[in-house]
Amino acid sequence: MVRLLRPLVRGRTYTRPLVRGRTYTRLLHLWVPVAAISVWLWVEPRLPWVPLLVLVPVGLIPAVRVGEVMQARLLLTPDEAEADFSTRPATAWRDRWRTVLWLEIRTLLGGVAAYLSIWLPIVAYALAARAVGHETEDLPALSGEPQWAYGLLAPLPLIALYGVVVGLGEALTAAARRLLGPSAAERLSALEERTEQLLERNRIARELHDSIGHALTVAVVQAGAARAANSAEFTDRALTAIEETGRAALEDLERVLGVLRESERPAGSRPTLADAGRLLESARASGAKVDAEVTGPLETLPGHVSREGYRMLQEALTNVLRHAGAVPARVRIEVADGALTLDVRNPLPDSSVAPGRGGGLRGIRERAALLGGRAHTGPDDAGDWAVRVELPRG
């Protein structure tokens, strides 16, 4: 039974292109350049090669590839949502010459398709006419008996036409993918852009972790301290600190969401070390005794170094509050020759406590490495917990 059905299945495979819309859109794509060629041949039939010569300067225009890609997407691959075509003008000379070659191939294949689309049906009609006894001048080489034999030959030109339409459409599509697709340099550029986007998303995720984590840590510490103090005055101060920290976290969240909505939003809107005062005050309001010292002009720091330094300081102070609580903390920010040194130290209330195993301090080390610097997190010789970051001149 399977053997009997196999020819029918194969027949469906062979005839499937007849019911596909792209077969006919590809044929239309092949015919498009023929109109201009036909007009030229009607004007000057002795110079049929002139249209091919004119295509050379046309193909060297960068924007031409964009128009050809639009046609290819619409007519050659209408059922493919993500066809691998370039979306940029051909700026490099190599890509411009690829466009020229594409135009030449498209024109030549279109001429072949147009000629055979007209000639093969005429041949089929002539054979069918001979089969019923009508004499035709289209096939002078065919003569003799029996006449019915021409009827057997009549379908062959139509089958050949079917093969021409499908085959040339596939060939043209393959040429389009090859010549209108992105070059190696464009693929590398797209990969770099994608990498930049992933890095930006990773940076945004870290900023959310640092900002929201800091706010939640302050809120938890303040709420616990207010409950333990059982003092209306202290509770009022704690609620004020929670409100201010939460408000700042909401501003950070809104800013980050704005960056996600507006990909071209300038990075300069992010907080820098010039805004470090609010971090220090937030930590002090949570009960930590912060001794801060700033040496050197912060405004001379490159923007990206200052922004990342702010986030590192924020995570270091969050780590103090989260793991050590209301303990004295020493913060040193030093700027010398455009380089930044950030040092945050605090005593550990319990030697068994080992902060820094989570993602926050790991993020500090990763940020420093991306900027070409280094970061150390761990106990120092005095038994304090230290976060020391050294970032080179940007």
Q: pLDDT of 352-372, one tens digit each?
A: 444 445 567 777 888 888 788
More confident residue, 14 or 101: 101
Query: Does residue 6 surpass a pLDDT of 60?
Result: no
Q: Identify the helix (H) or strand (E) that includes residue 212.
A: helix 184-229
- Give the three-class secondary structure for 62: coil
pLDDT, mean of residues 70-91: 81
Gap between the Cα atoms of 229 and 234, Å rounded:
7
What pLDDT is recorded for position 342? Answer: 92
pLDDT in tens, 27-41: 888 888 877 777 767
Tokens of 340: 């930044």
Query: Does residue 63 surpass a pLDDT of 80?
Result: yes
pLDDT band at 148 (very low <50, low <70, confident <90, very high): confident
Question: Strand pairing partners for 341?
Answer: 334, 390
What pLDDT is recorded for position 316? Answer: 86
Query: Does residue 295 surpass a pLDDT of 50?
Result: yes
pLDDT in tens, 160-207: 999 988 999 999 999 998 888 887 767 766 666 676 666 667 767 776
More confident residue, 302 or 167: 167
More confident residue, 303 or 5: 303
What pLDDT is recorded for position 13? Answer: 65
What pLDDT is recorded for position 145? Answer: 55
More confident residue, 279 or 68: 68
- Give the number of other Cβ atoms within 10 Å of residue 320's Cβ: 27
Average pLDDT of every residue of the chain: 77
Q: Which of 67, 69, 32 is nearest to 180 (CA)?
A: 69
- Whether the Cβ atoms of residue 104 and residue 58 lie closer than 8 Å to each other: no
Gap between the Cα atoms of 349 and 351, Å rounded:
7
Query: pTM for the full model?
Result: 0.50
More confident residue, 300 or 174: 174
pLDDT band at 136 (very low <50, low <70, confident <90, very high): low
